């Protein structure tokens, strides 16, 4: 396969929280941004900024030699791979095109998708992201990148335009996904732990604001714990990251651990906590609502 010369035109499939932030970032840098989302309400605001909206991923890929897939999960990736009643994405992808896979996915699934793309002459960059929508728009999110060296070199400018924190994981596609799962499992553990100690502080009669301030400057500090608990303490639970996302990610991480023959202690407990919070009716809530769920366990 021969790499296509990258142009300043980039397609983004999925322009929700993270994909929308990426689109705004690239538009601010002068890229020709093509966008598609199954929710057509997500695209008008980006069109106002100069993006071109497409009714299908196939239409978008006819224009873009580089496509960033920024959907939620493997189910939505499957919808791209096996469209139902829509133009085939495959018919638009050309040999030498490059696809960025940015969702948090199971490593074996990333490998399968990459193999299917390779059969069509299309290159894959395994590039899960972390940091949230604001950092995606600012270009300061983390990208965990695994791909062939030649592909990395070809797309290096775009990668660094997307992120000031590009981590070159290696050449084995799937290792980006593995790294992201390790990161997100720790994020999940930290968030459940932060919610638990805030609920404990409440039971001990402590000021939650003061206690969190102490933690933020001491050994118990974690970014996700601080960011989420600060919002939870003032009941600011407008969804930025739905509970279902860390439920999915911690579950995938625990499954990957089992596949590797690793039996963790805290990871499975954190995954169970997120799953139970969703079952308790918090699936569509921001994951800062973990504090609400932990409080409910005390009743």
Q: In this predicted model, what pLDDT tens digit does every residue of 184-237 receive, in sequence order?
A: 999 999 999 999 999 999 999 999 999 999 999 999 999 999 999 999 999 999
Q: Which DSSP string do the residues of 83-113 spell out, in sequence order? A: -SSS--HHHH--TT-EEEE-S---HHHHHHH
pLDDT per position as a tens digit, 186-200: 999 999 999 999 999
Q: pTM, whole model, 2 decimals? A: 0.91
Name the average pLDDT for the chain.
Answer: 94
HSE (CB half, 13 Å, CA atoms) of 266?
11
Reply yes or no on whether the pLDDT at 1 is more than 60: no
Fold match, 9-171 / 178-296: no
* pLDDT grade for 2, boundaries at 50, 70 and 90: low
Domain ranges of the chain: 9-171, 178-296
Reply yes or no on whether the pLDDT at 169 is more than 60: yes
What pLDDT shows up at residue 79? 84
Q: Residue 297, SS3?
A: coil
What pLDDT shows up at residue 7? 61
Q: How many Å separate Cα 194 from the centre of its chain?
A: 22
Q: Residue 251, SS3?
A: helix
Reply yes or no on whether the pLDDT at 85 is more than 70: no
CB 180 within 8 A of CB 194: no
Reply yes or no on whether the pLDDT at 87 is more than 80: no
Reply yes or no on whether the pLDDT at 88 is more than 80: no
pLDDT per position as a tens digit, 143-164: 999 999 999 999 999 999 999 9
Domain spanning 178-296, CATH class: mainly alpha
HSE (CB half, 13 Å, CA atoms) of 19?
30
**For strand 32-36 and strand 98-101, is the pairing parallel, antiparallel, or unpaired?**
unpaired
* pLDDT grade for 37, boundaries at 50, 70 and 90: very high
Share of the chain above pLDDT 90, in %: 85
pLDDT per position as a tens digit, 119-143: 989 999 999 999 889 999 999 999 9
What pLDDT shows up at residue 258? 96
The end-to-end CA distance of the chain, in Å, is 61
Here the tokens at position 169 are: 């994981």
CATH topology of domain 9-171: Rossmann fold (3.40.50)
* pLDDT grade for 90, boundaries at 50, 70 and 90: confident
> At CB < 8 A and 24+ separation, what contacts does 35-38 make?
35/11, 35/60, 36/11, 36/12, 36/60, 37/13, 38/76, 38/79
């Amino acid at each position: 396969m021969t790499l296509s010369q990258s142009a300043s035109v980039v397609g983004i499939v999925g322009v929700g929280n993270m994909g929308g932030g990426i689109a705004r970032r690239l538009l601010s840098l002068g890229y020709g941004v093509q966008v598609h989302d199954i929710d057509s309400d997500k695209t008008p605001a980006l069109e106002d900024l100069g993006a071109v909206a497409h009714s299908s991923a196939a239409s978008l890929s006819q224009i873009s030699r580089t496509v960033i897939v920024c959907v939620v999960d493997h189910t939505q990736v499957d919808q791209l791979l096996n469209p139902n009643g829509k133009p085939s994405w495959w018919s638009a992808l050309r040999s030498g095109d490059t696809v960025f896979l940015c969702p948090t996915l199971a490593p074996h699934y990333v490998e399968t998708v990459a193999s299917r793309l390779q059969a069509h002459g299309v290159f894959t960059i395994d590039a899960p992201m972390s940091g949230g929508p604001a950092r995606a728009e600012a270009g300061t999110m983390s990208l965990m990148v695994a791909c062939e060296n030649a592909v990395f070199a070809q797309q290096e400018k775009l990668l660094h335009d997307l992120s000031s924190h590009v981590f070159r994981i290696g050449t084995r596609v799937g290792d980006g996904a593995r790294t992201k799962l390790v990161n997100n499992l720790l994020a999940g553990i930290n968030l459940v732990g932060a919610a638990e100690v805030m609920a404990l502080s409440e039971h001990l009669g402590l000021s939650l604001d003061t206690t969190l301030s102490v933690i933020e400057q001491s050994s118990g500090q974690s970014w996700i714990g601080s960011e989420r608990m600060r919002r939870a303490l003032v009941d600011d639970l407008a969804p930025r990251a739905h509970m279902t996302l860390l439920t999915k990610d911690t579950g995938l991480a625990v499954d990957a651990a089992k596949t590797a023959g690793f039996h963790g202690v805290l990871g499975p407990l954190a995954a169970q906590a997120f799953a139970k919070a969703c079952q308790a009716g918090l699936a569509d809530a921001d994951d800062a609502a973990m504090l609400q769920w932990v409080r409910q366990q005390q009743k």
